Each structure stands twice: as C-alpha cells, then as structure tokens.
C-alpha cells in the first residue's frame, strides 16, 4: 500500500484562496397570475436564491408558517388577501423578512401602503419589471 503524505500548508493555502460558498436566501414569490409568479421565481432561482411560489396571499401565509422566508416578492392587488395585508401579517410573523411589493398600479398601491399603521418596511416596484431591476432591488434589501 502506497503511503500518501499531505502537505498541510498547501491545504491551508487552498482553503484561504477558495471562494466562499454563498448562502442561498430563501424567498417566496406571490402573484395571482401563475405565469408572473413562476417567471419571477425562475429569475431569482437562476441567480442563486431558493424560492417557493404561492398564487395568493392566504397560500403564502401558510407557506411562511411552514418555512419562514428571508424575503417575499408579492403582487399588491390579489383576491382573498392582497399584498399589503400579506406584508403586514408577514411583518408580524417573520419580523426579519424583507418585503418587495410589485404592482402595475403603483400609485394606488402607495395609497394602500400609506394606510398601514404602524408602518412597515417595504420596497415598491412598478410592473412591468425588468429582471435586472428585480435582482438589484433584491440584492439591496438583503444587505
């Protein structure tokens, strides 16, 4: 049997120069339009995040109870539980969760958000949304 000699210095040097493995952030994408929800989830997954998908706010709350997300990307205007109500509930359930709200009607969404008391932290993005813009904003809120 051949004896293998390990050079500890080489191993330590290799460890020091290796890029750290980025920690995947877990998020949730919520939109009542399945095409939009699935597309946004594919975009964030393609950039190293893990993401589940919900097609309404109620479903998103159930998922958040099972696996609290680091971030949520949600449409504002949805049936059953809109994105603002979802954001308020998530703020209570998962205080560290970052909220990105998207809307094709950002002015109306802002009016709804101004009614929230106490105020919550969120980022509001207008639809249509470019993938680069979404990823930049997601990176900003993760800092």
Block means of pLDDT (10 residues each) for the chain, 143 residues, are 42 38 76 96 94 96 94 94 94 93 87 80 90 93 83
- Number of domains forming the structure of the chain: 1
Nearest to 20 by CA among 48, 51, 50: 48
Q: With respect to residue 11, please indicate whether it lies within any of the assigned structural domains.
A: no
Q: Whole-prediction pTM value?
A: 0.80
Q: With respect to residue 100, please indicate whether it lies within any of the assigned structural domains.
A: yes
What's the CA angle centered on 112, arms 125 and 97, to 5 degrees? 55
Q: With respect to residue 8, please indicate whether it lies within any of the assigned structural domains.
A: no
Q: With respect to residue 135, please indicate whether it lies within any of the assigned structural domains.
A: yes
CATH of the domain at 137: 3.40.50.2300
Q: With respect to residue 5, please indicate whether it lies within any of the assigned structural domains.
A: no
Count how many residues are written for the chain: 143
Sign of CA dihedral 57, 58, 61, 62: negative
Q: With respect to residue 28, please indicate whether it lies within any of the assigned structural domains.
A: yes
Domain span at 126:
24-142
Rounded to whole angstroms, how far apart are CA atoms 143 and 131?
A: 19
């Amino acid at each position: 049997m051949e004896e293998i000699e390990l050079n500890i210095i080489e191993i330590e040097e290799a460890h020091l120069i290796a890029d750290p493995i980025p920690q995947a952030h877990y998020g949730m994408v919520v939109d009542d339009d399945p095409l939009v929800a699935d597309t946004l989830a594919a975009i964030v997954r393609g950039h190293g995040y893990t993401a589940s998908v919900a097609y309404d706010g109620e479903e998103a709350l159930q998922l958040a109870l099972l696996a609290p997300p680091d971030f949520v990307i949600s449409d504002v205007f949805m049936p059953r539980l809109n994105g603002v109500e979802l954001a308020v509930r998530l703020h209570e359930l998962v205080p560290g969760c970052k909220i990105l709200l998207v809307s094709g009607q950002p002015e109306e969404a802002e009016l709804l958000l101004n009614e929230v008391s106490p105020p919550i932290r969120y980022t509001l993005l207008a639809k249509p949304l470019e993938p680069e813009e979404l990823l930049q904003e997601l990176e900003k809120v993760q800092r």
